[in-house]
């Protein structure tokens, strides 16, 4: 028994050690003089009682820090910039953490050497996380940078972060007694009189930004030097420092770029014309979006309880659609045939800054099409350029597009970056941030009045044509619509994978229309379902349960079941058949080829998919061949023979027509299942009649225009952004559950033909819905005097739906019905 207890005790110690409860000593610093200085400092501090080292850490590169490396390249980090941070044991004894709680009388000390020659470096300290406020990430004052660092002739220095004057005096004296002169000790003060930082268990962070080592081998060695960091506990009740204000940025000797504005505008027009010629784009009416300053400073964020998301005091920040009188920043979309051209001033060339960068940033969630200045929620991408990509030029132009083809057509001096799906989802939102670092004259961030920020040109690939018109020909006549009182609720029939959740997301904060799920819940309660004599009891039970749940909770019901409910107005969304088929199948494929990241990010979706997988197993009908390669799996599913008795979603055969014609009172198990008795090709006449019985019909392919129509029908008015003449037409997020959008145009013709054969009725249904939507939009244009059809992306709509029989005579001509 005693032996067993000893073994268990040893095992516990080993596990505790491996888990980080007993933290091993940090690695020895590879810089011998610094290592020796740190030993002498520790001994000096041990000789007195006013302050003690309670834990030790090291300066680590973010990507080399266990667990915390998962969060690198987030929160708008710069492209091509290594970051390091002062890592201390979490809670004083656990694994290294870049954020640590500090008490008012304590201090954090770094002893290190100046980085090898770089274009820019800075140490910035932050109030990172405040329990009652969340991720504050606000700078605590000016940075220690390459122009103001105090150091010895050999580059050795100390960096002290504290609020306590008393503790600093003790640390300073110990450093001096250890051989480091006072002229090499850098102090950064934690404000003790704003933000109540010490009353709220705030966690702090100190970050080192490094940009472009002159000698990369020396730089790599510096990143692995393990410079020592000390947490020092001081005596309570001592004297505190007053808060230090940011240094004045304005200086009479600074260069004023505003004098270059006419030259810069001329350059931009020249580059715009060249891009238009190279890509055959019509750029005559393209107007620039001027970047505007994002005035964020950490101390102000602390005072006003806002979030700064890692502001650097050495930088000036600019971006598009930033308005001085609004907290809202509109983000951008980037379609497959679009180009974002950004014109830049090379601020380094004009000696206004030591370097600048332009970074592409994405929304933290595809749900959000706007940002908040005060509650910034943004994520970095690896995409961007710096002044060293165009070092010898006074100005520069850089393009961002999703098309490799378009990038290949551009020639020097215009640079180009391809934005891939993994960078920014095609249904997601992005923006650009220009960061201009360190005025060499002042050693501070450049003053905003001295700078000439970037210009953005949003180009759509509309081919030049002398006969080009804004709207295609062959449009249906205006079709009147019924307008409801805004208090009348909307009953929505959700056909799976047509954008219903995106619609719900948009409407949730809107005053009208209010979504009413009572019709769906009543349909679920009344659910009958057939006897299904040819289906096993387990399969029938599972299918009924799934249909009842999805109908009642998500309005994924048979249309006939929902339309039995009177009152309110009814609506649904339809999608072009190829896009719908690929979306359904992609969801299925991903559900059977899951990743831990997707599971963690959307656990409810994973659980719902698990229920559907269980139903597949019970029924012996699968939506996949379990092939890991997406296209091979799709080919296998289309080619495989499905069970006669029951097909489980996605059965791919005219699913939208099936949803509009099925009824659980008429031998159906719901929109997600097809029984042997149900036709693979429902009657188009019946499906079309069901479609036209809805008060509002939207198309996923014209989602924003459909939503504009919905708003008009809900209360007789249009949102301001439902107008082609507005600054930016309405742009809405898409809810994807982590599933990539697939481009049908990249599939082989034989596979596309099989999809078309499976969806022949859905194709007719889509053509009818498109003509109906366009006619209704034409009516709303006439009534409201707003322009809606002119900014439909007609060429793209034609390209993605031209396979539908009897719909198009060409890219600019709809066929009459």
3-state secondary structure string across 139-181? ECCCCEECCCCCCCCCCEEEEEEECEHHHHHHHHHHHHHCCCC
Per-residue pLDDT band for 110 (boundaries 50, 70, 90) equals: very high
Per-residue pLDDT band for 642 (boundaries 50, 70, 90) equals: low
pLDDT computed for residue 617 by the predictor: 82
pLDDT over 70, % of the chain: 88
Report whether pLDDT(22) > 60: no
Which of 243 and 627 is assigned the larger pLDDT?
Answer: 243
Q: What is the pLDDT of residues 379-427, one digit of tens each?
A: 888 888 888 888 788 999 999 998 877 887 887 788 899 898 878 888 8
Averaged pLDDT for residues 281-303: 89
* Interatomic CA distance for residues 758 and 344, integer angstroms: 50
pLDDT computed for residue 189 by the predictor: 96
Q: Which secondary structure element, helix H or strand E, spans residue 361, and what is its range?
A: strand 355-363
Q: Concatenated DSSP letters for 68-92?
A: GGGGTT-TTPPTT--EEEEEEEGGG
* Interatomic CA distance for residues 458 and 461, integer angstroms: 10
pLDDT computed for residue 391 by the predictor: 75
Report whether pLDDT(499) > 80: yes
Range in 326-340, 412-426, 526-540 with the lowest mean pLDDT? 526-540
Which of 607 and 234 is assigned the larger pLDDT?
Answer: 234
Whole-model pTM?
0.59
Q: What is the pLDDT of residues 613-638, one digit of tens each?
A: 888 888 888 888 888 788 888 888 88
**670 in the Ramachandran plot: left (φ > 0), alpha (ψ -120 to 50) or beta?**
left
| Cβ–Cβ < 8 Å for 648, 612 | yes
pLDDT computed for residue 465 by the predictor: 36
Per-residue pLDDT band for 91 (boundaries 50, 70, 90) equals: low
- Comparing CA positions, the residue from 733, 735, 79, 730 lying closest to residue 423 is 79
pLDDT computed for residue 746 by the predictor: 78
| Cβ–Cβ < 8 Å for 703, 505 | no
- Comparing CA positions, the residue from 341, 359, 353, 344 lying closest to residue 120 is 353
pLDDT computed for residue 386 by the predictor: 86
Cis peptide before 413 (omega within 30 of 0): yes
pLDDT over 90, % of the chain: 47
Report whether pLDDT(481) > 70: yes
Which of 651 and 116 is assigned the larger pLDDT?
Answer: 116
pLDDT computed for residue 711 by the predictor: 94
Per-residue pLDDT band for 273 (boundaries 50, 70, 90) equals: very high
Range in 202-216, 247-261, 332-346, 725-739 with the lowest mean pLDDT? 725-739
Which of 683 and 528 is assigned the larger pLDDT?
Answer: 683
* Interatomic CA distance for residues 11 and 265, integer angstroms: 70
Q: Cα dist. 784→712, 716, 781 in Å?
A: 9, 9, 5
Averaged pLDDT for residues 20-49: 84
Range in 90-94, 119-123, 563-567, 648-652 with the lowest mean pLDDT? 90-94
pLDDT computed for residue 532 by the predictor: 56
Which of 439 and 796 is assigned the larger pLDDT?
Answer: 439
On average, the pLDDT of the chain sits at 85
pLDDT computed for residue 77 by the predictor: 46
* Interatomic CA distance for residues 774 and 670, integer angstroms: 30
pLDDT computed for residue 725 by the predictor: 83
Report whether pLDDT(42) > 90: yes
Report whether pLDDT(8) > 60: no
* Interatomic CA distance for residues 275 and 221, integer angstroms: 43
Q: Which secondary structure element, helix H or strand E, spans residue 528, and what is its range?
A: none
Averaged pLDDT for residues 499-517: 87
- Comparing CA positions, the residue from 412, 354, 353, 357 lying closest to residue 383 is 357
Which of 239 and 529 is assigned the larger pLDDT?
Answer: 239
Q: What is the pLDDT of residues 711-743, one digit of tens each?
A: 999 999 999 889 988 866 777 766 666 666 777
| Cβ–Cβ < 8 Å for 675, 530 | yes
pLDDT computed for residue 651 by the predictor: 61
Averaged pLDDT for residues 115-144: 89
| Cβ–Cβ < 8 Å for 342, 246 | no
User: What b-and-e string marks burial along 551-586, b requiring 16 or more CB atoms within 10 Å of the CB?
Assistant: bbebbbbbbbbbbebeebbbbbbbbbbbbbbbbbbb
């Amino acid at each position: 028994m005693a032996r067993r207890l000893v073994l268990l005790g040893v095992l516990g110690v080993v596990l505790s050690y491996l888990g980080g409860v007993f933290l091993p000593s940090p690695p020895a610093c590879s810089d011998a003089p610094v290592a020796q200085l740190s030993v002498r400092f520790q001994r000096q501090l041990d000789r007195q009682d006013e302050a003690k080292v309670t834990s030790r850490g090291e300066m680590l590169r973010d990507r080399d820090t266990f667990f915390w490396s998962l969060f690198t390249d987030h929160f708008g980090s710069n492209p091509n910039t290594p970051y390091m941070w002062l890592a201390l044991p979490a809670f004083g004894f656990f694994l290294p953490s870049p954020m640590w709680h500090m008490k008012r009388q304590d201090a954090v000390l770094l002893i290190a050497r100046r980085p090898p020659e770089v274009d820019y470096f800075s140490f910035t300290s932050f109030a990172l996380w405040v329990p009652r406020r969340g991720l504050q990430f606000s700078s605590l004052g000016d940075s220690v940078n390459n122009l103001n660092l105090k150091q010895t002739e050999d580059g050795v220095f100390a960096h002290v972060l504290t609020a306590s004057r008393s503790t600093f005096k003790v640390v300073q004296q110990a450093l001096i007694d250890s051989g480091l002169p006072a002229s090499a000790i850098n102090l950064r003060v934690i404000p003790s009189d704003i933000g109540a930082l010490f009353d709220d268990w705030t966690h702090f962070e100190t970050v080192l930004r490094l940009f472009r080592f002159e000698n990369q081998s020396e730089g790599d060695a510096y990143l692995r030097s393990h410079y020592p960091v000390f947490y020092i506990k001081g005596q309570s009740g001592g004297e505190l420092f007053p808060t230090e204000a940011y240094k004045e940025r304005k200086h009479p000797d600074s260069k004023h770029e505003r004098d270059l504005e006419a030259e810069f505008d001329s350059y931009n027009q020249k580059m715009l014309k060249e891009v238009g010629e190279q890509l055959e784009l019509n750029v005559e009416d393209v107007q620039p979006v001027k970047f505007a300053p994002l005035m964020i400073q950490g101390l102000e964020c602390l005072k006003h309880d806002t979030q700064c998301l890692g502001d650097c005091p050495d930088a000036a920040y600019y971006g598009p659609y930033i308005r001085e009188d609004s907290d809202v920043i509109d983000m951008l979309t980037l379609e497959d045939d679009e180009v974002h051209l950004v014109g830049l001033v090379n601020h380094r060339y004009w000696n206004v800054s030591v370097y600048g960068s332009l970074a592409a940033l994405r929304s933290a969630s595809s749900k959000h099409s706007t940002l908040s200045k005060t509650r910034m929620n943004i994520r970095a991408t690896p995409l961007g350029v710096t002044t060293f990509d165009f070092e010898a030029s006074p100005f520069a132009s850089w393009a961002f597009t999703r098309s490799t083809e378009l990038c290949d057509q551009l020639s020097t001096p215009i640079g180009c970056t391809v934005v891939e799906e993994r960078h920014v989802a095609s249904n997601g939102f992005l923006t650009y941030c220009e960061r201009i670092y360190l005025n060499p004259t002042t050693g501070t961030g450049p003053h905003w009045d001295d700078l000439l920020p970037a210009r953005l040109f949003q180009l759509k690939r509309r081919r030049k044509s002398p006969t080009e018109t804004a709207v295609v020909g062959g449009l249906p006549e205006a079709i009147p619509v019924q307008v409801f009182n805004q208090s009348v609720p909307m009953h929505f029939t959700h056909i799976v994978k047509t954008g219903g959740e995106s619609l719900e997301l948009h409407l949730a904060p809107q005053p009208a229309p209010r979504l009413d799920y009572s019709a769906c819940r009543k349909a679920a309660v009344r659910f009958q379902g057939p006897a299904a004599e040819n289906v096993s009891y387990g399969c029938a039970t599972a299918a009924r349960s799934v249909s009842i749940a999805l109908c009642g909770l998500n309005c994924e019901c048979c249309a006939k079941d929902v339309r039995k409910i009177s009152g309110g107005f009814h609506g649904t969304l339809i999608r072009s058949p190829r896009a719908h088929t690929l979306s359904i199948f992609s969801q299925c494929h991903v559900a059977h080829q899951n990743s831990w990241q997707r599971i963690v990010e959307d656990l409810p979706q994973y659980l719902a998919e698990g229920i559907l997988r269980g139903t597949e197993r019970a029924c012996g009908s699968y939506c996949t061949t379990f092939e890991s390669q997406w296209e091979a799996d799709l080919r296998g599913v289309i080619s495989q023979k499905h069970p006669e008795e029951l097909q489980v979603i996605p059965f791919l055969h005219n699913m939208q027509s099936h949803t509009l014609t099925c009824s659980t009172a008429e031998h159906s198990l719901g929109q997600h299942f097809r029984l042997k008795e149900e036709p693979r090709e429902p009657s188009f006449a019946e499906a079309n009649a069901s479609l036209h019985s809805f008060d509002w019909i939207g198309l996923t392919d014209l989602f924003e225009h459909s939503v504009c129509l919905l708003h008009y029908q809900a209360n007789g008015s249009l949102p301001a952004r439902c107008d082609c003449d507005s600054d930016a037409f309405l742009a809405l997020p898409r809810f994807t559950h982590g599933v990539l959008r697939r481009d049908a145009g990249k599939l082989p013709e034989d596979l596309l033909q099989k999809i078309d054969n499976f969806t022949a009725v859905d194709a007719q249904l889509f053509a009818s819905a498109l003509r109906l939507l366009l006619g209704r939009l034409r009516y709303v244009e006439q009534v409201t005097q707003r322009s809606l059809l002119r900014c439909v992306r007609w060429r793209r709509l034609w390209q993605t739906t031209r396979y539908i029989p009897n719909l198009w005579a060409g890219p600019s001509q709809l066929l009459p019905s």
